[in-house]
Chains A and B, each alone.
Chain A
Amino acid sequence: MNELPLVQISNVSKVFTGGKSPALDSISVDIKPGCITGLAGPDGSGKTTLMRLIAGLMIPSSGTLTVCGFDVVNNPEEIHEIAGYMPQRFGLYEDLTVIENLNLYADLQGVSQDERSGVFNRLLDFTDLKRFQKRLAGALSGGMKQKLGLMCALIRRPKLLLLDEPSVGVDPVSRRELWKIVRELAGQETGVVWSTAYLDEAERCDEIILLSEGKILYSGIPKKLTASMKGRSFLVKESASGRRSILDSAMKNDSVRDGVIQGGSVRLVLKSGADSSLIESLIPGRKLAAVPAEPRFEDAFVDLLQHRHAHKESGVASMIRPVHADSRTAVQAEGLTKCFGDFKAADDISFSIPPGRIFGLLGPNGAGKSTTFKMMCGLLKPTAGRAAVNGIDLENAPGRARSCIGYMAQKFSLYSNLSVAQNMDFFAGVYGLYGSGKRKTIGQLVDMFDLAQYIDSTAGELPLGFKQRLALSCSIMHNPVVLFLDEPTSGVDPLTRREFWNHMNAMVEKGVTVVVTTHFMEEAEYCDEIGLIHQGRMIASGSPDMLKDKVRSVEIPEPTLEDAFVELIKKTGPGNSGIPARE
């Protein structure tokens, strides 16, 4: 209907003072009205910068950028009249209620009192937040905050809706709802730009712009890109214990572009022109059965980016000392219960994890997985029940139990103004290492994670992947038997995530037990066993494939883990999504 592009970007560059390379490097692309345009790319590829340029919040260093014909440099006010923007942190006032936030943004956008009630009603119905109008925004769960942020950007039905990573840290159920809402909007004269780290979301967009290092790698229809990968993806079925070693040998093979663990299988993507028969002979003395698989957008993404990022083998495998657990169960939870006042955040949660396994705790925001997680690593005292690590009770002998635990927090929890060496030195000291033992351990970790090149850099300025390596190396300094990871790859791009799990797999092979919480279903696929927590209770547990089998039906013949997640939650009944996340 509308011939003109909604956003016209021609030759736009953005250079930040002090930045070595430009954040955006002569980008030219058009964004069409009435559809969803995805913006994908690794961290630091320039997604947020491009968003802010389109929103008129920054001025391009060179080139021109227009929105509906208005120039971002000369007419930012006109753009602000027609654009809605949701920044990464939603831009909500946490000490205002839902309705107060809405009223504020309605006033700011010049929506009159008469129009308002109709719009609010529609939006509140749309997002199912009607019940929570009087609730403070700060007390909403992550998914609800995101919806409220979206509503604030939608009050005046913008012609252009900019969403900057709206789904980071949000559970799959809420992500699906958000997608549905935005999908409906996009049909109605609103053009949406959706930046995302989730490639399954990117795949569903009408158009996609793939950024890397400030340059456009691909722009167009995502299906086309996916189709180019046809015939290169394969699934190898394997028993639980063998998957990691197959993945390991596959990744050492030059013809293999990408590999991930997907429940009970290993998913491999070959380089173009490679012969699929090589998979059969990956493991000497065994014939592996490879089944062709449908290509995914992620395959194409990794394929495009791997040209730039060479795959590095984890040094962990060759260097880490094997860990031997003292007990037959590495982690044991018995009837763990935690009450905050009247509210039961965790209710009678029990499980046990044998050594050398990966256990995933999944659940919607505010379901109680963080609470459970914190009780297991001794950060929170349970109201009832007991937790033991490596056979040591966390309550009776917290010090001894903790010495078996490595913990990596969700947020980067190192000292960002200390250098890499200083951070490692400090954490070694905390774990009681000294003298030659300390030097030796640090030296090994530096080799293992290839940190030597950054050893004197300030931790805060490291690339995200290296920050993660540093955090990991600091948390395994004392050779822990169990490693607790709290959303370790939240906000991290697929390549960095692969690298991270590469290290994890190598450690698990050496006998380390890993307990992880995550919202990324790809990450959950790496787990040997998953516990799904909802409303404070463990509603399902089992291997990823077992969970998928539970929801297999005529409607969903080939359920993904996300389908399983959503369906199992649905079965349990309406969410307690009104209860705030106690992170």
Chain B
Amino acid sequence: MKVTQKGKSNGSSWIRTRALMIKESHQIIRDPSSLLIAFALPFIMLFLFGYGLSLDTNNLKIGVVMEDLSNDARSLAYAFANTSYFDARLGHSRKYFENELISGHIRGVIVIPQDFTENLRKGEVSPKLQVLSDGSEPNSATFVENYASGVFLTWLIANGYENATRTSPLLDVEPRFWFNPELSSRNTILPGCITIIIAIIGTLLTALVVAREWERGTMESLMVTPVKIREIIISKIVPYFILGMVSMLFSVAICMVLFGMPFRGSVFALCIISSAFLLVSLAGGLLISTLSKNQFVAAQASLVSAFLPTTLLSGFIFEIDSMPAILRAITWVVPASYFVPSLQTVFLAGDVWPVLLPATGIMMLIFILLFTITIMKSPKRLEAS
């Protein structure tokens, strides 16, 4: 159906839009669930993600089996026990830890064999440790293995057994991490978390509100008034845009105050990129509810289309570069995959406009596309045109 533009009623268009926006704001304020989603949800999510989800591995529980009881062996065992990577307990036989490894109470067992000291002293055969790890948790297993050899090397060097390694490194790599020197995964997760919050507020809330008008029969009354479809849509976007921005700033404040996240960019840049992402989310939500007209379906659809891609395909948990080609291609149309890096940039690096501008541009393009489809798919009648 074409959207007819009429000159004569344009004067009151603003009045109608404003009336609808006031109505929408009243509804937001009176509906505890929208306020809950806007303010309680960020709080809970940031808490869970900030404290609960860490991609760094510390304090891996392991067992150290001492088949050799020499001073050297003991010193090495203490080295394992003292590092923050491990939470180690000592034992005298593999049997002792076997059950715990099977039941998953410990992630690995490091065995200091009987001939350890002998080999070390002789220097003929390089001393060996045995590392048993729980292969059912591949990530942890790798960590155990790498950390164990790291600790071992450090111990060898510290105790003057350099030759024991026999291989002197040709190249010495001394890493320095920019922007996130501690390599704390929290600093990259929290921006992802803010992304999820904005996506939920934008998509879920708006998806529900239009569907609700259909379900409660108010859409039918609205349609018989002179109101235009674009006025209805604009009046839905503006109040939720404001709500989303307030909630976003609230979340950023929590990140900085509670989790001590650095914020190296400007509020201006933050608002620009957030606006773009919020608009995309809002338009997505409106499109969903225009098509579904049913709150339950709208909620399901917004979870599938907003929450999941934002979590899985935005690169904040799983790096996009290591995804298979087809998934990488899909991330090109996931707005969050532009927003997460932008947000991380603003937090950790600063206003790097060459990164931020293209991302904002692409998000705005997706927004315009969704918005146009929504307007075209919103008939001012009860049946699809």
Say whether B107 faces chain A, with CB atoms less than 8 Å apart.
no
Cβ contact within 8 Å between A56 and B381: yes
Most-contacted residue by chain B among A80, A93, A94, A103 (CB, 10 A) = A93
Cβ contact within 8 Å between B381 and A58: yes
Say whether B81 faces chain A, with CB atoms less than 8 Å apart.
no
Pick from A103, A107, A152: contact of B221, CB under 8 Å: A152
Q: Known contacts A77-B4, A96-B23; decide if A108 and B226 are in contact (CB<8 Å).
A: yes
Name the residue of chain A whose CB is nearest to the CB of B217.
A89
Q: Distance in Å from the Cβ of A227 to the closest Cβ of chain B?
A: 36
Cβ contact within 8 Å between A105 and B223: no
A55 CA to B12 CA, complexed, in Å = 22
Across the A-B interface, give the 3 residue pairs with the lowest CB-CB distance, nearest first: A91-B221, A107-B19, A89-B217
Name the residue of chain A whose CB is nearest to the CB of B16.
A108
A80 CA to B12 CA, complexed, in Å = 15
Cβ contact within 8 Å between A59 and B217: no
Please, how many residues of chain B have a CB less than 8 angstroms from a CB on the other chain? 30
Q: Which residues of B contact A374 (CB under 8 A)?
A: none
Name the residue of chain A whose CB is nearest to the CB of B26.
A96
Q: Known contacts A59-B381, A80-B226; decide if A107 and B30 are in contact (CB<8 Å).
A: no
Name the residue of chain B whose CB is nearest to the CB of A103.
B19
Q: Known contacts A56-B381, A89-B217; decide if A108 and B27 are in contact (CB<8 Å).
A: no
Q: Which residues of A contact B223 (CB under 8 A)?
A: 57, 80
- Report 9 cross-chain contacts, Cβ distance below 8 Å, ordered by A residue: A76-B381, A77-B9, A85-B224, A92-B218, A104-B22, A105-B221, A105-B225, A107-B20, A108-B222
Cβ contact within 8 Å between B226 and A91: no
Cβ contact within 8 Å between B383 and A58: yes
Q: Which residues of A contact B221 (CB under 8 A)?
A: 85-87, 90-92, 105, 149, 152-153
Pick from B220, B227, B381: contact of A91, CB under 8 Å: B220
A136 CA to B16 CA, complexed, in Å = 21
Pick from B16, B30, B226: contact of A95, CB under 8 Å: B30
Q: Distance in Å from the Cβ of B60 to the closest Cβ of chain A?
A: 50
Q: Distance in Å from the Cβ of A146 to the closest Cβ of chain B?
A: 13
Say whether A219 faces chain B, with CB atoms less than 8 Å apart.
no
Cβ contact within 8 Å between B217 and A94: no
A81 CA to B225 CA, complexed, in Å = 7
Cβ contact within 8 Å between B217 and A90: yes
- What mask results when residues 1 to 42 of chain B are scored 1 for a CB within 8 Å of chain A, else 0? 000101001001001101110110011001100000000000
Cβ contact within 8 Å between B217 and A91: yes
Q: Which residues of A contact B227 (CB under 8 A)?
A: 108
Which A residues lie at the B interface, using CB under 8 A? 52, 55-59, 76-77, 80-81, 83-96, 100, 103-110, 136, 149, 152-153
A220 CA to B12 CA, complexed, in Å = 40
Q: Which residues of A contact B224 (CB under 8 A)?
A: 55-57, 80, 83-85
Q: Which residues of A contact B6 (CB under 8 A)?
A: 77
A57 CA to B224 CA, complexed, in Å = 7
Cβ contact within 8 Å between A108 and B20: yes
Name the residue of chain B whose CB is nearest to the CB of A82.
B226
Q: Which residues of A contact B186 (CB under 8 A)?
A: none
Name the residue of chain A whose CB is nearest to the CB of B231.
A108
Q: Known contacts A77-B6, A93-B27; decide if A110 and B12 are in contact (CB<8 Å).
A: yes
Most-contacted residue by chain A among B222, B226, B227 (CB, 10 A) = B226
Q: Distance in Å from the Cβ of B131 to the closest Cβ of chain A?
A: 56
Name the residue of chain B whose CB is nearest to the CB of A76.
B380
Q: Distance in Å from the Cβ of B86 to the closest Cβ of chain A?
A: 55
Say whether B173 faces chain A, with CB atoms less than 8 Å apart.
no
Q: Known contacts A58-B382, A108-B16, A108-B227; decide if A87 and B23 are in contact (CB<8 Å).
A: no
Q: Which residues of B contact A108 (CB under 8 A)?
A: 16, 19-20, 222, 225-227
